[in-house]
């Protein structure tokens, strides 16, 4: 039986329904069999092979919430969280590619897209088109609504001019949700969301960043030079882009929480395995109580991060308020990932500090969790506003 919002309501947070368990296990096996063997190579090449992206489409994880009749998996937001977690356990770069597609791009169209937009884009996004979400610019990150990208009305179309920075998936994407200001005199109320295809005239993908972590995930600049966008490609209404951005990012950051939970779990499993194998003073280091306590601390942090993340996702699926919980989940899970990945290196001793073992990569990959989709300070700001607003 398919999950309904009502049936999800009574589940303990980590007790998965049959559908959820089935989906999670399929993704877990996929990550082990198809992704694990490629992880090191993808990190070194700074690239996710197209065949692997196609395999993600074939598995149905690029359109988790897209309805069946539009080619998607017709599942819940919570399912996409499970997918991201399982992918990140093996490779946080593949996880963020799938995360952006589901929790930002598909999600925004599900909520604000017209029937015509859904009819054109969902079958593509579920089967072959990678999507990207373009809000940030060189001069506007945390202060996202200070964006300088301009949109101008030109009869039957708009022209977009400006630059975007840090755009995840941009190297692979065929489709971009781009925020630009249609009327700067109205401040943030001029910001409008546009659905932009890579082939639209005046659109180009620029320089790719050379990053500390999630190196296989592309992060690029976008160049818009009087980019011609049909009027029908406004998402929602003109001037409502700020609302779309706030609301999609509120949900998207649960996905980053899941990415960080999966990452921490992956690093933790390596640490447990190694602690059983590595012998010092004539016995496995797992027999030393100090090492056992480290593992117990790590497991506790992961459990707490997972509970926060699952709770935020389940609240969102049943239509209850989740904004504070989502910000807490991302804040806590990204800190937990940093701490767990760091301890995993320590448990590996000198070997953990080399590229011969996988834990150094988890440590590099985790840092971005405290930066993208709102820095940790921005999450604290959201939590504080929610608390004080309700006093």
Ligand X SMILES: Cc1cc2nc3c(=O)[nH]c(=O)nc-3n(C[C@H](O)[C@H](O)[C@H](O)COP(=O)(O)OP(=O)(O)OC[C@H]3O[C@@H](n4cnc5c(N)ncnc54)[C@H](O)[C@@H]3O)c2cc1C
Q: Which residues bind ligand X (CB under 6 A)?
A: 100, 133-136, 141-142, 166-168, 211, 219, 368, 371-375, 377
Comparison of 16 and 177: residue with beta carbon closer to ligand X: 177
Q: Which helix (H) or strand (E) holds 168?
A: strand 157-168
Angle in degrees, CA 357, 257, 362, rounded to 5? 10
The SS3 call for residue 258 is helix
Comparison of 166 and 268: residue with beta carbon closer to ligand X: 166
Min dist. Cβ of residue 283 to ligand X (A): 42
Catalytic residue among 47, 85, 360, 373: 373
DSSP state of 2: -
Min dist. Cβ of residue 144 to ligand X (A): 7
Give the burial class of 44: count Cβ atoms within 10 A of its Cβ; 0-12 exposed, 13-18 middle, 19 or more buried.
Answer: exposed
Comparison of 119 and 138: residue with beta carbon closer to ligand X: 138
Contact (Cβ atoms closer than 8 angstroms) between residue 244 and residue 252 = no
d(CA 145, CA 264): 32
Question: From the CA atom positions of the chain, what is the Rg in Å?
Answer: 21
Comparison of 7 and 377: residue with beta carbon closer to ligand X: 377
Min dist. Cβ of residue 246 to ligand X (A): 13
Min dist. Cβ of residue 38 to ligand X (A): 20
59: number of CA atoms within 13 Å, CB side? 24
The SS3 call for residue 171 is coil
List, as one string, the DSSP characters of 274-299. HHHH-EETTEEGGGSHHHHHHHHHHH
Comparison of 131 and 358: residue with beta carbon closer to ligand X: 131
Tokens of 17: 């329904």
Min dist. Cβ of residue 334 to ligand X (A): 12
d(CA 92, CA 43): 10
For residue 356, indicate whether it is catalytic: no
Instruction: Catalogue the active-site residues.
Output: 373
């Amino acid at each position: 039986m398919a999950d309904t919002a009502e049936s999800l309501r009574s589940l303990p947070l980590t007790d998965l329904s049959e559908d959820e368990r089935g989906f999670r296990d399929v993704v877990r096996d996929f990550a082990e069999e198809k992704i694990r063997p490629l992880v090191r190579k993808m990190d070194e090449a700074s690239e996710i092979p197209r065949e692997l992206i196609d395999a993600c489409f074939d598995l149905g994880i690029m359109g988790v919430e897209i309805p069946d009749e539009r080619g998607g998996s017709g599942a819940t937001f919570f399912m996409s969280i499970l997918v991201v977690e399982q992918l990140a356990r093996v490779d946080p770069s593949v996880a963020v590619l799938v995360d952006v597609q589901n929790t930002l791009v598909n999600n925004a169209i599900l909520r604000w897209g017209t029937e015509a937009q859904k009819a054109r884009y969902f079958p593509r996004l579920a089967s072959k088109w990678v999507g990207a979400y373009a809000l940030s610019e060189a001069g506007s990150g945390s202060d996202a609504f200070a964006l300088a990208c301009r949109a101008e009305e030109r009869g039957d179309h708009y022209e977009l001019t400006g630059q975007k920075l840090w755009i995840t998936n941009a190297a692979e994407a065929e489709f971009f949700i781009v925020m630009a200001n249609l009327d700067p005199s109205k401040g943030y109320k001029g910001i409008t969301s546009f659905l932009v295809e890579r082939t639209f005239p005046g659109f180009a993908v620029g320089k790719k960043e050379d990053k500390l972590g999630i190196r296989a995930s592309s992060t690029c600049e976008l160049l818009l030079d009087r980019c011609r966008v049909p009027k029908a490609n406004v998402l929602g209404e003109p001037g409502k882009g700020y609302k779309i951005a706030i609301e999609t990012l509120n949900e998207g950051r649960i996905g980053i929480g899941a990415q960080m939970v999966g990452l921490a779990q992956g690093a933790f499993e390596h640490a447990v395995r190694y602690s059983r194998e590595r012998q010092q003073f004539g016995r496995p280091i797992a027999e030393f109580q100090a090492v056992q306590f480290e593992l117990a601390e790590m497991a506790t942090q992961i459990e707490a991060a997972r509970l926060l993340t699952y709770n935020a996702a389940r609240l969102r699926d049943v239509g209850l308020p989740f904004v504070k919980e989502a910000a807490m989940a991302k804040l806590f899970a990204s800190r937990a990932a940093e701490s767990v990945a760091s301890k995993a290196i320590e448990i590996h001793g000198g070997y953990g500090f080399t590229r011969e073992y996988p834990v150094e990569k988890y440590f590099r990959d985790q840092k971005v969790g405290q930066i993208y989709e709102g820095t940790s300070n921005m999450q604290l700001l959201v939590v504080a506003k929610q608390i004080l607003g309700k006093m």
